[in-house]
Chains A and B, each alone.
Chain A
């Protein structure tokens, strides 16, 4: 099952900065009968939905649909944005199963409404996880954290926002529908298949004071290209000097390098300078809780008083959206984070997932080198996280799907999580053929 949050990169192109208006255009809504003041409308004859067009198919979901239809025994789905084992199966972490069992067996647990801001333990522990246990921002009560519906929900709840080019497809929609003006800053360099730091600094340098800047905390989606620590420092200095407001999307903490603290460096660097920022966290990947929708939004503020007022306003946004967040996933996370043994076990399982991905990267790189595939493929091992931005063209991608039954998104992004030692050779063959056949 494809993650819904990976579906939209092409769709985003349909919905540019026009946002809601564009959707209206796409839907070609003419004057609905209910807004007509002329004749009496008898219900049953005419639906108010008569003019509604079907929304465009999701491009990433379409990949999985095509994959499912394919009868080939060697087919491979590399579109999926969810972790898979060596056997290609989804994974529920042992530590999650144990936490769930604890919850089920605890008969004193009830299913009452959470407060609007969610489970208090969960919020505190999530802030600690991203900011570090000894964070002065936490000690000084400068952080307000609210439980949200995974990463998506945490981002929805904030003018102009600058997002990297490219970025996760749903980002544009989220911010458009929230009424922000969405602009982009250069990020990925197709020539080096790495970071375009100069372009990034130039574009952010010309952003107006007060603009929000969306930053992927680690394991940039879809490119897997992250700034180095030195580059992060350059970005931080620029952002602070231009009075821009950083908004971190942290969907892969621990999953990227295998180290929770390591993957939080960028965020902690910004918080350490005493400035303000937003942080959206998701437990979808690093705890495998995809469908439970568990995440958190933290806002680091200048003073405790501001943090308290901000929290009260966040509640006003949440209450008319869904009143209060779902309890189950947050309870699992809380149970794991607060128990020494469960936490340690989690870090081991997390590292194992990250290591398997890194191993797949190495195997694919080695396989391409062994075949003498033309081109520099070092980006496969340099990029970090779940995805590799291969640099393959749309034509080459189509060739791979048609001839080798390999399914990936048309931008050339492959999910390393969908690979196994068994299937790496097949993929390497396909890439080799695509690159040598289609120029």
Chain B
């Protein structure tokens, strides 16, 4: 039967090639000849290059995934326990389109507060999303659909995928000042200018804490000023919170920016991710929430969010959500999680001190206080692409060319080597 079909196919192809005459498309060529190779992802491409490097001294401070002091990935104990409990789960049926209600409820408490009135009054429209990326994307699609004339203001710099997300959602992008290269801190004055000069009712994307890639966060006073100005201008604030708990070690503290905006009565949007703070990277677990005026509106908005998810993936994956709700729904496991998150954050903070000390010890003429001023997983070193290239070529140290160091990749075993290398390539600067 199979060989008969092949024979038929071959004779068919022969007769088909005779039919080509007059057709603008050759049967024997591909539909996709015109497809160009896409550029490699700037962040994920770094790890690829790292893996291919045979050097025994190589260091990966590229992608933002946590490593322990031995440079190994970590599965949290609370996660292992949760997985043990859910293995042998009764079924793997579809979640509702909006995902696991239990997971979403616990997740909202983290962002909005345990005793939030907004939660009590059911004013928050929220769905489980495919980690932070998925939450941002659904929001961007929602923004396009329901505020079709709006644009999104994105800080400079930002996580590179933010640009891809709003671009693919066909929402035009504008930028606002954020990072101040001279001080390696926040360009607060220019940021406020941009907020004031934007048309009333503009949409802004803000990093709630541990700004990626700079690690530069506004102070509490600065957040309050930003919030006030947003009120005056009637701007919409969308918070991308990918590092709650991971920044300072205290989830409540890391949510401060959001709480300030909520106190001021803003109706915000928020993307939350469990990739880093629960180490659930590959499970793709997150949440998108939008604060509404009342419960009725929240129901309507949630139904529309689900409409956007449905043609994308129907309903979100259950496994990661089960892990989250198992942990957060059990007081003991939740305590364990908080302890483990603090442990991760503390190790990072320790490495910041260590890196700075080591570079200063070598007598660097430059200031390195930004290493300890900045917060979260990343340090924006201030190194140029050329200096980064030298680090890679001469020292086998891998990071993104914007000079962003993932502190999670720094260990007591490699911090001296890293300091030496950084000093080498920057001392002449």
Contacts and interface: CB of A to CB of B under 8 A. Distances in A.
A2 interface: yes
A37 B38 contact: no
B201 A4 contact: no
B145 A302 contact: no
B282 A52 contact: no
A48 B92 contact: no
Interface in B58-100: 63, 65, 73-75, 79-80, 83-84, 87-97
A288 B312 CA distance: 20
Given A40-B233, A49-B290, A302-B30, A320 B282 contact: no
B35 A291 contact: no
Interface string A251-284: 0000000000000000001001110100000001
Nearest to A172: B311
Contact of B284 (A29, A90, A317, A324): A324
Contact of B230 (A43, A52, A269, A303): A43
A1 B38 contact: no
A290 interface: yes
A312 B32 CA distance: 12
Contact of B146 (A4, A29, A92): A29
Given A35-B150, A52-B146, A2 B94 contact: yes
B267 interface: yes
Contacts of A338: none
Interface stretch (B187-195, B213-221, B243-251, B298-306): B298-306
B25 interface: yes
Contacts of B19: 241
Interface stretch (A112-120, A186-194, A196-204, A373-381): A112-120
Contact of B145 (A20, A112, A317, A329): A20
Nearest to A119: B282
A328 to B, nearest CB: 4
Contacts of B356: none
Contacts of B38: 309, 312-313, 315-316
B94 A291 contact: yes
B16 A320 contact: no
A35 B89 contact: no
A382 B6 CA distance: 29
A160 B110 CA distance: 45
A303 B28 CA distance: 11
B164 A320 contact: yes
Interface in A382-425: none
A23 B307 contact: yes
Contacts of A1: 93-96
B137 interface: yes
A49 B164 contact: no
B161 A319 contact: yes
B73 A110 contact: yes
Nearest to B285: A326
Interface stretch (B126-134, B359-367, B370-378, B397-405): B126-134
Given A4-B94, A326-B320, A34 B37 contact: no
A152 B314 contact: yes
Contacts of B236: 34, 43, 48
B161 A320 contact: yes
Contact of B310 (A96, A112, A170, A329): A170
Nearest to A316: B38
B300 A49 contact: yes
A176 B149 CA distance: 21
A325 B233 CA distance: 39
Interface in A278-332: 284, 288-293, 299, 301-303, 306, 308-310, 312-313, 315-317, 319-329
B312 A321 contact: yes
A290 B267 contact: no
Interface in A171-217: 173-174, 176-178, 209-210
Interface string B288-318: 0010110001011101101100111111111
B199 interface: yes
B287 to A, nearest CB: 14
Nearest to B38: A312
A322 to B, nearest CB: 4
Nearest to B28: A302
A8 interface: yes
Nearest to A289: B92
B234 interface: yes
Contacts of A240: 12, 16, 27
Interface stretch (A97-105, A218-226, A339-347, A358-366): A97-105
13 contacts: A41-B200, A43-B265, A47-B292, A54-B304, A116-B44, A174-B311, A240-B27, A273-B13, A309-B32, A309-B35, A322-B284, A326-B284, A328-B320
Interface of A: 1-5, 7-8, 20, 23-24, 27, 29, 32-37, 40-44, 47-50, 52-55, 82, 90-92, 96-97, 100-101, 104, 107, 109-116, 149-150, 152-153, 156, 170, 173-174, 176-178, 209-210, 233, 237, 240-241, 243, 245, 269, 272-274, 276, 284, 288-293, 299, 301-303, 306, 308-310, 312-313, 315-317, 319-329
